[in-house]
Amino acid sequence: MASSLLSRQLVLSLQNNLRLSAGCRFASKAATKTQLEFEYDGPSMKTPVPGPRSEELTKQLGDIQNVGAVHFFCNYEESRGNYLVDVDGNRMLDVYTQISSIPIGYNHPALLKLMSNPNNLSTFVNRPALGILPPENFPDRLTESLLSVSPSGMSRVQTMACGSCSNENAYKAMFMWYRNKERGHNTPTDEDLTSCMINQGPGCPDLSILSFMGAFHGRTMGCLATTHSKAIHKLDVPSFDWPIAPFPRLQYPLEEFTRENAQEEARCLEEVEDLIVKWRQKGKPVAGIVIEPIQAEGGDNHASPDFFKSLRNIARKHGCAFHVDEVQTGGGTTGKFWAHEHWGMDDPADVVSFSKKLLTGGYYHKDELQADKPYRIFNTWMGDPSKNLFLSEVLNVIRRENLLEEVTRSGKALLNGLYELQARYPGLLSRARGQGTFCAIDIRDDPTRNSILLKTRDKGVLLGGCGDRSIRFRPALVFKEYHVHIFLNIFNDVLAQHK
C-alpha cells in the first residue's frame, strides 16, 4: 500500500506542477530535484476554505462531537512535503504543520518505505503495555531514537503518549523527588499511606510548581494549573494554589532596547525568588519550576540566554527541580535540536519534556528524578513503539539531509522577509521575532489577525495564531528558502489588502 501510494504521488507530482508568477517580489531559488520528486511546486486553490465537501463533513461530525475548532477536512493521502491537501482539492503550503507536530513533511518517502517493510508490521499491529510487557527490541529502539538526541547531562528517558501526559508525569516525578529529599529516604510512613487515600496530608503534601504567565503546558489537571495563555483553557476547572511569575515582555528590535529588556528580565527574576520564598512561608514549598524556552501558545514570547541561566541558578539555590518544556520548541525547528541549546549551558535542566515533532511524548530526566518504585510513573501504553521506529528514521533524514542547517537558512530568510514586510506595513505589523523557522509577528489587533489568517488560507497558505494578536510560523524541517518566498509573496498580497 505504502509503495503504491508513493508511486501515485510521484506521478501526480509531474502532472500538477505549478510555477511562481514572474512578478514575485521575493526571488526564489530553483527547487532541487530531490525536493520536486516528493512534493508539489506550489499552492493550488479550487474553492474557498472550508469548501462544500468540508462543510458537509463538518455537519456530519457535528452530530457526533463538538466541531467548533475544526477548520476543514483533509486528504492526507494526497498531501506531501510542505503541502496539505483538503477534501475539496485545495492544496495549501502548510506553515503551521498540525500545530507544529510534522517533522519532515507529509508522506515523506523514507517513512512510507518504513511502512512497507514487512519486518516492521508487528510493531504497527501490536501496541504493548510498555510498562509491563515491552517488546524485545525496545531498549535498542530507545537508544537509536530518543537517547541519540538526549539533552546535555541526561541519559534517562520516560516515554509517554502526548505533551500533556509527559508534563503531568514529569510534575509527579518532581514532587516524588522533592518529598523523598524532605524525608531523607524513600520509605513512606503508615500515615503517608493512609492519608493519601483521602487526599490529605502528609501523604498528599502541599507542594507547588512555579510557572509563568503566558505559559502553556497542557490540559490535564496539573498541567492546567501551570497554563496561563487563554481563559477558555481553564474556565470551570478546579485548580491548585501554585505561584505564577511574570514572563519577560521584551521590546523589539532587541538591539535597540538592550537596557530596557535587561531591566525587564531582572524584574521577573526578582519576582520568581520572591514567590518561592512566599510560597514556602505559606507552607506550600515550590518543588519545581517549569518554563518553555519560547512561550509558544502564549504569543511566541522570548527571553535571553542570561535570563534562563539565572533562572536555572535560582532553582538550584532554592532546591527546586528545573523543568524545561520543549514540547513545541524541540525537534529542530529553532535551528538546534533543542531550543535550550541556544542558552549554551552544560547542565540546562533536571527535566526536559517533549512531544509533537518527536512523534512520541515523554521526558528526559536526571538520575535522581527516576521513580523510586514501580507503578508510580505508569499508565497502560506509556508511549508507542511504532512512533520510536518513525522517529529513528526522521532522525536519519535530519542528519542525512542536514536539515538543521536548512532550518537556519530558511529561518534567516523568513525572519528577514518579515522584517521587510514590517517596514513596508508599519501600521499593521510589529515585533517580528524568531529562532530558526520558529518565528512570529504581531498584527495590530485580534480581528485583523483573524482576517489575515483566513485570507491567507484562501490564497493557499496555512498559518496559525497565538497570544492576543500574533501569527506564528511553524513549518516542517523540510521548509526551504523557496518555500519562504512563496509564502512571503502571498502574505504580502494579503497584507496589501489591509493597509
Residue that has been written with the C-alpha cell 506564528 in this structure: 472
pLDDT at 349 over 60: yes
Amino acid residing at 134: P
pTM for this structure? 0.93
Using alpha carbons only, give the angle 64, 68, 72 rounded to the nearest 5 degrees.
Answer: 90
Q: How many residues does the chain have?
A: 499
% of the chain at pLDDT higher than 90: 91
In whole angstroms, give the CA distance from residue 243 to residue 289: 10
Query: Which pLDDT score is estimated for 20?
Result: 36
In tens, the pLDDT along 8-20 reads 443 343 333 333 3
In this structure, are residues 326 and 338 in contact, taking their beta carbons and an 8 Å threshold?
yes
By DSSP bridging, strand 464-466 and strand 470-473 are antiparallel
Query: Which pLDDT score is estimated for 497?
Result: 94
- Asked if residue 385 has a cis previous peptide bond (ω within 30° of 0), the answer is no
In whole angstroms, give the CA distance from residue 498 to residue 495: 5
pLDDT at 340 over 70: yes
Nearest CA-CA partner of 207 in 167, 231, 240: 240
Query: Which pLDDT score is estimated for 471?
Result: 98
What is the average pLDDT score of the chain?
93
In this structure, are residues 211 and 240 in contact, taking their beta carbons and an 8 Å threshold?
no
Distances in Å between the Cα of 379 and the Cα atoms of 67, 158, 165 are 29, 12, 10
| Per-residue exposure over 240-249, b if at least 16 CB sit within 10 Å of its own CB, e if not | eebbbbbbbe
In whole angstroms, give the CA distance from residue 342 to residue 456: 32
Cell of 482: 523557496
Q: What is the mean pLDDT of residues 320-339?
A: 98
* 83 phi and psi angles, rounded to 5 deg: -115, 130
Helix axes 481-496, 403-424, angle to 10 degrees: 20
254 or 209: whose pLDDT is higher?
209
Query: Which pLDDT score is estimated for 253?
Result: 87
In this structure, are residues 131 and 161 in contact, taking their beta carbons and an 8 Å threshold?
no
Cell of 302: 522570548
Burial status of residue 380 (CB atoms within 10 A of its CB: 0-12, 13-18, 19 or more): exposed
Handedness of CA 356, 362, 366, 369 (dihedral sign): positive
Going along 134-207, which residue ranges are E strands?
156-160
Helix (H) or strand (E) holding 441: strand 438-443
Query: Which pLDDT score is estimated for 198?
Result: 98
- Assign 38 a pLDDT band (cuts: 50, 70, 90): confident
Q: What residues are annotated to the active site?
A: 216, 325, 356, 380
pLDDT at 21 over 60: no
In this structure, are residues 246 and 264 in contact, taking their beta carbons and an 8 Å threshold?
no
Cell of 124: 504497527
Query: Which pLDDT score is estimated for 108?
Result: 97
In this structure, are residues 373 and 180 in contact, taking their beta carbons and an 8 Å threshold?
no
Q: What is the mean pLDDT of residues 454-478?
A: 98
Query: Which pLDDT score is estimated for 27?
Result: 59
Q: What is the mean pLDDT of residues 306-312?
A: 98
Residue that has been written with the C-alpha cell 529513528 in this structure: 392
% of the chain at pLDDT higher than 70: 93
Q: What is the mean pLDDT of residues 172-191?
A: 96
In whole angstroms, give the CA distance from residue 327 to residue 354: 4
* 322 phi and psi angles, rounded to 5 deg: -115, 115
Helix axes 446-458, 481-496, angle to 10 degrees: 120
By DSSP bridging, strand 91-94 and strand 461-462 are parallel
Q: Residue 44 gets which letter from DSSP?
A: B
In whole angstroms, give the CA distance from residue 282 to residue 151: 34
Nearest CA-CA partner of 181 in 313, 350, 375, 374: 350
In tens, the pLDDT along 400-455 reads 999 999 999 999 999 999 999 999 999 999 999 999 999 999 999 999 999 999 99
Cell of 393: 528514521
Nearest CA-CA partner of 100 in 302, 339, 261: 339
In whole angstroms, give the CA distance from residue 494 to residue 289: 41
Burial status of residue 336 (CB atoms within 10 A of its CB: 0-12, 13-18, 19 or more): middle
- Assign 148 a pLDDT band (cuts: 50, 70, 90): very high
Q: Kindly report the number of other CB atoms within 10 A of residue 101's CB atom.
A: 18
In tens, the pLDDT along 61-71 reads 999 999 999 99
- Asked if residue 253 has a cis previous peptide bond (ω within 30° of 0), the answer is yes
Q: Kindly report the number of other CB atoms within 10 A of residue 419's CB atom.
A: 15
In whole angstroms, give the CA distance from residue 247 to residue 75: 40
Lowest mean pLDDT among 5-9, 311-315, 381-385: 5-9
pLDDT at 361 over 50: yes
